[in-house]
Amino acid sequence: MTMSATEQSQWKLRRGQYLGEISALCFLHIPTHLSSLPLLLAGTGSQILVYDLVNGKIIRSFQVFEGIRVHGISLEIFHKQLPGSAPSFRIAIFGERRVKLFSLQIKLDSQEPFIDTELTLIHSLPKFSHWVLDVCFLKDGAISIEDDVYLAIGCSDNSVYLWDILKYHMFSEVKCTERCLLYSMKMHGNEIESLRIASGTIFNEIVVWKVVVQNNSTIPGSHTEDHVPLTADEGFLRPVPVFKDALISRLVGHEGSVFGIAWFSDGMKLVSVSDDRSARIWEVQAEKGVSCSDVQVRDNHFAGPVLFGHSARIWDCCIFDSLIITAGEDCTCRVWDHDGRELKEIKEHIGRGVWRCLYDPRSSLLVTAGFDSAVKVHQLYAYKGLEETIASEDFSDKHEVFALSLPNLSGNDQLMDSKSEYVRCLHFSREDSLYVATNNGYLYHASLINNETVRWTELARISEEAPIICMDLLSKRSKSSDGFENWVAIGDGKGRMTIVLVVGIDSSPKVDFTLTWPAERERHLLGTYWCKSLENRFIFTADPGGRLKLWKLRNNLTSDSLIGRASYDMFLIAEYASCFGMRIMCVDASFDEELLVCGDIRGNLLLFSLPRDLLCSTSIAAGVKASPMNYFKGAHGVSSVNSVSISVLSSHQVGIRSTGADGCICYLQHEKDLLNVEFIGMKQVKELSAIQSVFTSDRSDDSSVGDYAVGFASAIFIIWNLTSGTKVLQITCGGWRRPHSHYLGDLPEMMNCFSFVKDDVIYVHRHWVPTNDRRIYPQNLHLQFHGREIHSLCFISGHSLCSSDENQALVSDSSWVATACEDGTVRLTRYEPGLENWLSSQHLGEQVGGSAVRAICSVSKMHIFMPDIPTEVDRQNGTLEDRDPFILISVGAKRVVTAWKQIINMSNKREGTISSEIDKKNENDFKGSSTSTMSSFSFQWLSSDMPLNHTSHLKRQNAKEVTETTESTSTNTSDTISTELLSSNYMTMESNLCPEDNLENDWRYLDVTAFLVKEAGSRISVCFVVIACSDATVTLRALLLPYRLWFDVASLAPISSPVLALQHVVIPKFLPSKGNIQSGSFYMAITGSTDGTIAIWDLTECVENFMRQVSGLQMENLMDLQKRPRTGRGSQGGRQWRSIDHHKAKKKPGHCILRGKTCTDSVSTGKSDSGNEMESISSETSLSGTSVADIPFQADTQQASFVSGRRKDDLLPEISVLAPVQILDNIHQSGINCLHVSDIKDLSLSGSRFSFYVVSGGDDQAISCLRFELQVNPIDENSQNMTPVNHCTTPPVAKNNSKDHFLVQKHQMQVCYLDKIISAHSSAVKGVWTDGIWVFSVGLDQRVRCWNLNNGRLTEFAHLIISVPEPEALDVKTCGRDHYQIAVAGRGMQMIEFSGI
């Protein structure tokens, strides 16, 4: 039924906030009584965002254009505020060929100290014939009006238009004689007569010219006079020129296009940036009355050196009295002085670069913005080489640098020899307390009062015979005084351990006691470690052979050896041996979870049991020798593990976080019941080559404060804020091999210390601002997003988040969108209606090698498979899930497919220490520590699958042969085709395959769809993934969960053109004889190709055959083989994934032969000869539904990654080949870019008739709508299929309102061609969606259109211009009966609301 006009008016499309590139920046200085810092205006998409820099929050956002990007913001120079009135400013906003003049009024809430703004349109200027590059406010010097009265608009054809603000019309146009296209233009001046224009031409030069009055012409000096007459040209009023151009200078020197120009304040200098990666400073001399056409000499006026440092094109620049700032495509912003010295480099953006930079000399604030949507604010401190004039007085004296020498070396300038004393270890206990250990066995304490006063204290001479090798420190507040207790553990070259207890205040420390004992053999003591959770009662020592000893420090309260003081004894209570024999580098222990985690020098993680009874026992027993209860090999490749930490995820799960020398942070999960360890995620910090540790701030009142990565990038020490993506500290120190130490406060941006040794001098950098009201810099004002184009997105359905009551708070009104990007990243972004719609964006991870992600899909609904043979409930072994898994599947370049699994963590923050636990145990009142619970929602990496070394696909030239063979073998009882029948043809076709080494690497996955299937009563589920490749093949693959095993199930027969769009359909099957009980499902795939055809594929037999084989497997002895994603970092990059043919295991692998139900179930497990190491299992699995052809799998123990290897000679017979059951021709005149299938609708109460809609969009700008109806025949479950299925491969002729029939599993399927809109969009259609009532589409014309589907016809209902340039994907979420959210992605992302009023 068609809607009436009244009903249509009640439905509206409303824009949400655009999340994408920042293209314009401008400071707005307001009266100081309103704010001590200026406001920031940022242009993104078609919007203007207003930020308060004092609190770092957005004030308002305004829509200023319709589908036009904001390119620049200009602010009036002269402003007069009336007494008692709210301050207001006139701003000109321009983009493409449009200019609009606005009034921005500043409001202050009388009740609350918050600033508000209101933007009012004054006038919209006519559309210009060329793009606008700059706008400048001008004052009329001939009249007494103080406000600006003119606008100068510079266009890309090297012309300037003069606009009268008061009379709203153009009164003059000046065209430069140099009529060429420009990449940039910048104007300077406050009056017409003083206006100077610098034009960056396409000829790599800068033409500097100005506007002069023509002969016998006068400048309009009074607005009471009439202006010169205008002439009309094609609807645009063109003024009669009264001005002409005059050349000032022609600047030649750049070797590339000039992208940015900035004037000096006096107009005598300018700086330019170019495609040649350089910035140049020019001196401009005034020349009067010379026309551009009359000048023949080219003048070059250099005023400074050429600034080289960027590794890519430079986009923007600005110049001030003491510095020059440039921003480029290499994602860096660099600060220079006028002599060409680089003072500072800021690299905190990602993607295509930093597009805009802005500096305010008054507040010393530097703002950068770029393609990644982030707006970052930096405070330019007075760093070395940076002049004091650019540093705020508030911060210039807070950064201290100490240069210390050892007490015995003070004043000694002699050269060092073998007996000279030098530093071996450094360790901070507080910001003003540093412990130093030397090779001569001395332990010193340095009290850092200020950079001029340092007090040294010699605490002890640990050893006179051997140097100090290692040191660790545990600091705790003293129970008996207001000072601290510092427990210093020191190991020397003789293998002796010494513990020194230092008490008192840091300015006057004293040694309370020392304890020395032999811990290892000579030269075998390499490390000693305290654990905060175990306090000072226990300490670990490590040797080079991978052995870790646990020592217990016992307080002899009854000892009479020292009157008035307690004496201590040290006992060895446990010895842990690594199965890898590698040196242990770091440890962490949990008393509550009874777990010890260690990381070694070759990237391995080991888990040991740490029984509570062992720690709390009061008896003295011989040391217990323990082996790992589990391990994870190659967590950081072959790079050293630098730190590990343990956290509690739930009552039965423990989280493990590790950092390494590969620049990665790895996250693992330990199941206490199953005693296994699972890799769940990894974060690459590309700014760091080695991460020493991760610091978590205790402050929860600031969203920008969170986790900090501490590490090195070559010879530079860096502290990186992982939450805001900003660099906190950068100090050149010589690298991590030198003795060094760091100490961070609650706010690392304001509280950080770092010390290192260089040339026998201890350098200490301290920045300590303890006041809590300091503003944190750097600061991220706007959400950081993808740095490149987004190719695909999908909503995360709300019902998957609400499986339990405690997760309701995660959903509320929020929407979660998963996006896939060209840079290889996958992100999860949260949207919520309000002022700042996009609340958070989480980086989930990257594809292997950072390959571009072309498509992403989500799957949460579980379909139940009913086997023919009754099975026992819960007979399969595996990890029992609390709920069905929610999976994300991403595919892209290099034929990489990655699976992500949803997690909802319930983090427990436990309070209490081992001391309280031991005391409670001794008092027989052990009740555990208090716990606070926090929930978080995310996705973790689940599995990745790489391409094989040899192709397994048929090429397009063989499509006809395969189709003919398929038809001849259709008499099989299964719809799948046994490839054994094609083995003879395969040998003749093998020579026609594309060269594997030359062309195979260019193939990429184009689209993906997936569905979950689980056998009733089983714990094992299978995620079936249908993937389209650029070589015109489509493959059905299976991911076996929770074992993370990938299988090739079937290959959809090659068709004539590559598939660009994929969808699947799952229709339930019912048994009428048993009261319409569901007996299974029909599984179908629908594909859209570049030739405009839509094909339907029946996957039912392949899915059911695979599920039957899985149901017959006994997998209790099968371990999780796939370990961690390949990152391309450090030792993980550059290795070939060797197949079973090219790799021989050093040890005998075990085998697990898996057969289907038709064969005898058998499991053969072989064990390796290694003592404590787990066996490496290689499994061979049968996949074909009609044969038992095995597929070998190889577990490469050296790579710690699961590899699927196949031999070339048995390549083809591994999987079945499917032919389409129907091909619908001429649906589109060119490629089909997008498909969508509506939900299945049951047209009958008996489950015998189902229908669904399919909409498609293509390059032909058309939208097509089809309706499918499946008539299920009432058959008995015991009946046999006696008649072969007829696969119709004759392409039908697509006509509106025509119908086609074909069979799916002997059931009648009818296709009805409903409607086709020939010109739905003015450009290619890139995304469609339908629920059978509404159809939404988006095209490259930047329009979202809403169509109503009534009576089989598509009727356009509404359309909206969006801010997303080059949109590529669309998805829709149904929020209610009359409410839809439409997400559109391309160069950015935007949400559109569609609902009834």
DSSP state of 1225: B
C-alpha–C-alpha distance, residues 1036 and 1103, integer Å: 9
Read off the DSSP letter of residue 977: B
Q: Which residues pair with 316 in a beta bridge?
A: 327
Q: What is the DSSP letter of 441?
A: S
Q: What is the pLDDT of residues 221-269, one digit of tens each?
A: 444 344 444 444 444 555 555 788 898 888 998 999 999 999 998 888 8
Confidence at 56, pLDDT banded by 50, 70, 90:
confident
Distance CA 1263, CA 111 (A): 54
Distance CA 1036, CA 1104 (A): 13
One-letter amino acid of 1240? I
pLDDT, one tens digit per residue, over 803-822 is: 444 444 445 578 899 999 99
Tokens at 55, concatenated? 């609190």
**Residues 1226, 1198: contact at Cβ < 8 Å?**
no
Write out the two tokens for 615.
Answer: 């720690």
Q: What is the pLDDT of residue 239?
A: 54
Select the more confidently predicted residue: 1329 or 959. 1329
Query: For residue 989, with 0-12 CB atoms within 10 Å meaning exposed, 13-18 middle and 19 or more buried, which class applies?
Result: middle
pLDDT at 1146: 38
Mean pLDDT, rounded, for 883-907: 83
Measured between alpha carbons, how far is 645 from 658 in angstroms, rounded to an integer?
7
| Distance, CA of 167 to CA of 140 (rounded, Å) | 14
Q: What is the pTM of this model?
A: 0.82
pLDDT band at 1005 (very low <50, low <70, confident <90, very high): very high
Task: End-to-end CA distance of the chain: give it in Å, rounded.
Answer: 20
pLDDT of residue 427: 95
Separation of alpha carbons 1392 and 103, rounded Å: 27
Residue 393 has pLDDT above 50, yes or no: no
- H or E segment to which residue 613 belongs: helix 612-616
- CB-based burial of residue 241 (10 Å sphere; 0-12 exposed, 13-18 middle, 19+ buried)? middle
Please tell me what DSSP assigns to residue 1267.
Answer: E
Q: What sign does the CA torsion over 148, 149, 152, 153 have? A: positive
**Closest of 552, 444, 555, 427 to residue 497, by C-alpha:** 552
Nearest alpha carbon to residue 167 among 123, 128, 217, 126 = 123
Alpha helices in 718-855 (DSSP H): 808-811
**624-626 vs 567-577, strand pairing mode:** parallel
CA separation for the pair 24, 122 (Å, rounded): 20
Residues 475, 429: contact at Cβ < 8 Å? yes
Is the model's pLDDT at 1362 over the cut of 90? yes
Could you tell me how far CA 526 lies from the centroid of its own chain? 38
14-37 residue pLDDT tens: 988 899 999 999 999 988 888 889
pLDDT in tens, 331-370: 999 999 988 899 988 988 999 999 999 999 988 999 999 9
- Number of Cβ atoms within 10 Å of the Cβ of 77: 13
Q: Give the pLDDT of residue 674.
A: 79
pLDDT of residue 223: 44
Instruction: Give the tokens for residue 510.
Output: 């004293």
Structure tokens at 483: 């000072």
What pLDDT score does 1157 carry?
32
Average pLDDT, the chain: 78
Contact 538/548 with Cβ under 8 angstroms? no
Mean pLDDT: which of 138-147, 311-320, 996-1005, 1301-1310 is highest? 311-320
Which pLDDT score is estimated for 671? 87
Region 261-284 average pLDDT: 92
Token digits of residue 668: 């693992």
- Whole-number Å distance between alpha carbons of 1321 and 1397: 26
The tokens describing 663, both together, are 């620049």
Q: Which two tokens stand for residue 1027?
A: 């993937």
DSSP secondary structure string, 272-306?
EEETTSEEEEEE-----S--GGG-------EEEEE
Q: Which of 358, 373, 407 is CA-nearest to residue 72? A: 358
Report the C-alpha gap between 414 and 406 in whole angstroms: 14
Cα 889 from Cα 899, distance rounded (Å) = 5
Structure confidence at residue 953 (pLDDT): 42
What's the pLDDT score for residue 1088? 95
Q: List, in sequence order, the alpha helices (H) in 229-369.
A: none
User: Residue 577 and residue 624: Cα distance in Å, rounded?
Assistant: 11
- Quick one: pLDDT at residue 107? 81
Find tokens 């008896």 and name the residue. 619
Report, as an integer, the average pLDDT of 784-801.
Answer: 83
- Residue 1295 has a pLDDT of 39
pLDDT band at 389 (very low <50, low <70, confident <90, very high): very low
Residue 8: predicted pLDDT: 62
What does the pLDDT read at residue 898?
92
What is the per-residue pLDDT for 566? Answer: 53
DSSP per residue, 134-170: EEEEEB-TTSS--S--EEEEEETTTEEEEEETTTTEE
Q: Does 1178 have pLDDT greater than 50?
A: no
Q: Which residues of 496-518 are buried (b: 16+ CB within 10 A; e: fewer)?
A: bbbbbbbbbebeebebbebeeee
Who contacts 416 (Cβ-Cβ below 8 Å, separation ≥6)?
422, 760
Strand stretches in 165-218, DSSP E = 169-175, 182-188, 196-201, 205-213
Inform me whether the pLDDT recorded for 1001 exceeds 50: yes
CA distance 950 to 956: 17
Cβ atoms within 10 Å, residue 80: 7
Contact 346, 727 (CB under 8 A): yes
- Residue 1042 pLDDT class (50, 70, 90 cuts): confident
Q: Residue 1145 pLDDT more than 60?
A: no
